[in-house]
Structures are given as C-alpha cells and as structure tokens.
Structure 1
Amino acid sequence: MKIDSKSSLKDFFDSKVQQYNQPSFIKEDPICVPHTFTKKQDIEIAGFFAAIFAWGNRTTIIQKSFELMKLMDNNPHEFCLHHQDQDLKRLVHFKHRTFNATDLLYFISFLQQHYKKYDSLEAAFTIPKEKEMEIRLMRFHEYFFSLEDAPARTRKHIAPPYKGSSCKRLNMFLRWMVRKDKAGVDFGIWQKINASELICPIDLHVARVAKRFVSSPKVRPLKS
C-alpha cells in the first residue's frame, strides 16, 4: 500500500489516531501503569519506569512495572523520597530483561535527589533553555548520570542521542506526560514542553512501516 499524497497520508494517520487513541487501549498498553495513580509525582515515576521497561512483550512489561510499584508500596513518590536502607533490600532480586537491581537502585537514588529539589520530573527535561528535543534529551542524560555513584552499566538504559540512539522510550514517556486531548489516554500534566516539540523517532521498525506507505521515504534509521 503506497500513499503518495500528503493529504491522503494525513487522513490515514488521523484515522489511526482515532483507532488507537481511545480509553479502551489503555488496559493493554504500558501506559495503564501510571493510569492507576492520581498524584502527579506518582504518575511521573510509574510512567518513567513503565517506559524504560518498554521493550519486549507488552504483557511482561506491564507485569514487571506493576511488580515494581508493589515493591514500592504502590506509593512510588513517597518511597523514592523517604525510603530507608532496609526498604531497599526488597528490591535486590528485581529484574526485567537486562535491567537489574543495580540499575533500579541507581534510578531510585536519582529520583530521590531530584524530588528533594524539584516538585516534578518535568524539571529534569527543561533545565536547558533550548527547545530542541535532541538537546533536551542530551541534557537529561547528563543530569541523570550526574551522581557520583552512577554505574557504567546503567547508562545503556538511557542512551543519549549523540551516540545514535533514537531514545524511543524516553520520547514515548514525554508524549505521555505532555500530550493532552479529550480521549484521556495521555496525561498532559506537563506545561513547560509544547506538544509541537515532541518527536517520533525513525528507528528500523518505523522505517520499514514507512516504506509501505510512502514511495521513497528519506529516513536514516537510528538505534533504539
């Protein structure tokens, strides 16, 4: 199926938005994890982990995300801010694919330090004044790994765009937090990033799909 007209292509994508941007879609997507919370910071943390875990089987992604929320007493913001050392012991056996306890403990350490200073995780993406998303993602990477005990192995879970990463999972998380419409799938709880700044990375899978609809897409797939 090839779509050569821009207007026809827009109509096609608009129809897909109508098809999938529905509340009924939530329960089978990782976005269902943050949808179990109402507190802004809980939504951010649950969404952040669900997005980071989002590779592989969706059922497993959702299962492991909820498992982590349970380990944090289903109160992730409170847990990240006020946990004691003994509370962290319950996390040492957590694992999702290549994401293990070492990575998890650093993530929680970062979130604790961040939320001591800021009310929202949005601040981690809006520290630079530049509105170019690639720069925001690079600055976030630098900020996220700015703690002295940042493990080298954990960097693979938040790869920077300057190393060729498409940052698919971070971009998905940003879409969840920024976009807002009447459908209620995305949250729209962040105000400092405009929806027009959001991007959909062209990775190998997206490029393959694009070639089915566009005669000669000029894209260079990036690493995930």
Structure 2
Amino acid sequence: MKLKTSELKDFLDEKVMLYNHPKFIESDPIQIPHKFSKKEDIEIAAFLSATIAWGNRKSIIKNANKMVELLDHSPFEFITQHEDTDLERLEPFVHRTFNGNDFMQFVKSLKYIYEKHNGLEAVFSMHAEKDSLQNSIHHFKKVFFEIPHLERTQKHVSDPLKNSAAKRINMFLRWMVRNDNNGVDFGIWQSLSPSQLSCPLDVHSGNVARKLGLLTRKQNDGKALAELDKALRKLDVSDPVKYDFALFGLGVFEGF
C-alpha cells in the first residue's frame, strides 16, 4: 500500500483519533498505572507493567495487577521502605521468563534510583538528546545495575546501543512523557518532550509500518526503530509516537 505522504498522514491521523481514546485503556497494560494518582506510584506501576509487557495481553494485565498487589497497592512506599524480609513474598511471582528473583532485583534497583538518583525521571532526563531518548535508555540500564545484581536480570532491561528496539521501555516513556489530553498517556514527566520519544516497535506495529511503506528493514531491532523514527517524524515532528496508536490499532484491532 503506497500512499502519498499527505494521504498517509491523513489516514494515520484518523486512526490516532480513533484509538488514542480512554476506551483503549480497557484492554491495555496502561490500565495498571491508571489506578494511581501519585506521580511515583504511577511511574513505578507503569515501569513494572511495561517490563512484563510481552506475550498475551490478558496475562500481562493479570500479572501486572499481581505485581502491584504484592507491593501492597503502594508501589512507592513499598519500594522505598521495604525490609529484606518483605521481599520473600515476591519469590513465587512469575511472568514468562521474568521471575520472583528478577522482581526482587527490580525492587532493590528502584529503591536505589529513588534514594541516590532522584527517581526515574531524573535518570532518564540526564542523557536525553534533542530528538532521541535511546542514549538515555542505555544510561538508565547502567544505573539500574550499578548495585549488586543477578546477571540473569539484565536481560529484562533492553539496551538500544546493543541494537535493541527496546519496545517496552519506549512504551513506558510514551506513557510518562506524552500528554495526549485524552486521558490515555499520562504526560507527568515535564523534563522531557514528546518530540524525543520513539515508537514502541513490536510485531504488530512493525508489520503495519512495513505495509504502509514506513519501514523496509525486516528485523524489529534498533536499526529498524531508527528508520521508523525518521519516517514518523516526517509526519509529526513534535509528537511522532502518537502514531503508535494507529499502527498498533491497525495491527491488533483491524488485522490490517
């Protein structure tokens, strides 16, 4: 399907309006952070939910709810005030290859980030570039694992500088940075701008992007993300990742 740029923009803008809507929340992991009102609770719930966002969406939502439950429905308080013995309850948790030991490590690393680095937003803001947060994600991973950690847990935080599309972290960043005035994305991180965001590239958005001629690279990796970024910025330089709603909706809900 080859459309002229202006036609493609009109087509995708229409789909953004259709899917960037509160109804979208009902079937998406973004519903988990929407249970909270405090900034730190929202960002921690969002980060944990995004971390396990692969596989079946029903089981992602079920297990993300379980994570929040295990943190006493007060993620920030639990993370900053837990004793070592409180972590034992996390041990049975499992979602795909993310297990209780990984969960415990995440809690410890998040505690470290809030105590020593002024929180998640500060860490991601530190190495942000004018039109990219991929370097920020790389730096975030370094900070996250500065404390003693399990080797195995490292695979649950992607590194774009190792050619990863970092889908889950880019999705988390979309939630935090983009304020859509539609009640879906939160826009609670004022230090970053939507123009710096990258599209969460997965099987659905990748396939739709290829069909629309926005992407030629076959693998969904870091190089593909850079190519898609460039194409989406041509359509809207100030808010390129709004098109995530269009690509995802076309793929998942319309089988495009």
Q: TM (normalized to structure 1)?
A: 0.92
Distance 1:129 1:179, change over 3 A: closer
Equivalent residue letter for 2:220: L
Q: How many residues align?
A: 221
Q: Which residue of 2 aligns with 1:221?
A: 219
Deviation at 1:167, TM superposition (A): 0.2
Provide Cα deviations, 1:48-102, integer angstroms capped at 9, x if missing partner: 0110010011111011011111111100000000011221111111111100111
Q: Which residue of 2 aligns with 1:139?
A: 139
CA distance in 2, matches of 1:201, 1:49: 16
Tell me the secondary structure at the aligned position of residue 27 of structure 1: helix
Unaligned runs of 5+ in 1: none
Equivalent residue letter for 2:11: F
Q: Which residue of 1 aligns with 2:227?
A: none
Q: Which residue of 2 aligns with 1:72?
A: 71
CA distance in 2, matches of 1:213, 1:128: 32
CA distance in 2, matches of 1:46, 1:203: 21
CA distance in 2, matches of 1:220, 1:134: 20
Q: Which residue of 2 aligns with 1:176?
A: 175
CA distance in 2, matches of 1:144, 1:182: 31
Equivalent residue letter for 2:98: F
Q: Which residue of 1 aligns with 2:209?
A: 210
Deviation at 1:25, TM superposition (A): 1.2
CA distance in 1, matches of 2:220, 2:208: 14
Equivalent residue letter for 2:43: E
CA distance in 2, matches of 1:120, 1:15: 36
Unaligned runs of 5+ in 2: 223-256
Moved more, 202-211 or 93-102: 202-211
CA distance in 2, matches of 1:222, 1:169: 13
CA distance in 2, matches of 1:202, 1:99: 20
CA distance in 2, matches of 1:13, 1:82: 45
CA distance in 1, matches of 2:162, 2:155: 11
CA RMSD of aligned residues (A): 1.8
Is the contact between residue 159 and residue 166 of structure 2 (CA under 8 Å) also seen in structure 1?
yes
Deviation at 1:137, TM superposition (A): 1.3
Deviation at 1:208, TM superposition (A): 2.5
Is the contact between residue 204 and residue 223 of structure 1 (CA under 8 Å) also seen in structure 2?
no
Is the contact between residue 203 and residue 223 of structure 1 (CA under 8 Å) also seen in structure 2?
no
Distance 1:81 1:201, change over 3 A: closer
Matching of residues 193-204 of structure 1 within 5 Å: 193-200=192-199, 202=201
Matching of residues 29-68 of structure 1 within 5 Å: 29-68=28-67
Q: Which residue of 2 aligns with 1:104?
A: 103
